[in-house]
Amino acid sequence: MTTVGIVVGHARGDLAIPRPYVDAVLAAGGTPLLLPATLGDDERLYRVLGHTEALLLAGGGDIAPERYGAKPTATLHALDRLRDEVETRALRWAMSAGVRVLGICRGAQLMAAATGGRLVQDLPAAGFELHIETEHDRGYAGLRHAVKAEPGSLAERILGGLSEVNSEHHQAVADAGDVLVPSAWSPDGAIEAIEGPDLFGLQWHPEFEYGADRRHLRPFQWLVEGERGVDL
């Protein structure tokens, strides 16, 4: 089974990751390998990465603006600069090794920031209103909106006919940078997916949805087995 490395960041002093990411990798046939952001020096990090065959960059707090050459222009949430650094080094290792990378929400934003892109620091302040839940009774990522993918893109194949996705983010990719290209958008023009060779980033949260609709497992199937493993 494909071993999928997942960098684990900080949450209130603990190392933690939401279980749905791990469960989705398992459901897709992969073996999760949790990589603490406290690994430290490059030698140790790269030695552990050498045991991985794919890399998942999960959701979480905001990316520190200095990662993409910007100053803070909005209130930022749950910054984890150590995680930013470790994930950036892990991404660059994966790109040089030809290892598939899936970025979800914050993970997609990290992929863009690490490859010359930049982010919208606060979507509501920038006029995007469809993306973060304001009604607490819907639960996490309970908001839904339409999505449209570029014809012929990996995003279109991964969506497999899905025309709506869930949402829980107040930041997004503004510029995909030098390596990735945008390949799906919400109705208000916010970038919902970015992709490149062996790289796929999406802004929604399929890890919460695949139990109700198997199509949401496709990003994880792609991560574990490539396109040959995706249920079409």
CATH assignment at residue 213:
3.40.50.880
Q: Which amino acid is at 175?
A: D
192, 195, 207, 209: the active-site residue: 207
105 has catalytic annotation: yes
The pLDDT of residue 3 is 98
The closest of 78, 83, 47 to 67, measured between CA atoms, is 83
The pLDDT of residue 133 is 63
32 beta partners: 4
Task: For 104-136, give one letter per residue: b (16+ CB within 10 A) or e.
Answer: bbbbbbbbbbbbebbbbbbbeebebeebbbeee
CA distance 158 to 1: 21
195 has catalytic annotation: no
The pLDDT of residue 144 is 84
Q: Burial, 140: exposed, middle or buried (Cβ in 10 Å; 0-12, 13-18, 19+)?
A: middle
192 has catalytic annotation: no
| Residue 41 phi, psi dihedral angles, 5° rounding | -70, 155
The closest of 118, 182, 119 to 156, measured between CA atoms, is 182
How many structural domains comprise the chain?
Answer: 1
CA distance 155 to 182: 9
Residues 6+ apart with CB under 8 A from 50: none
| pLDDT by 10-residue block (mean), the chain, 232 residues | 94 87 98 91 90 97 95 88 95 97 98 97 79 58 85 96 88 95 95 97 96 95 91 67
Alpha-carbon Rg of the chain, whole angstroms? 16
87, 105, 131, 192: the active-site residue: 105
| Structure tokens that stand for 222 in this block | 């792609």
Question: Domain limits at 216?
Answer: 3-229
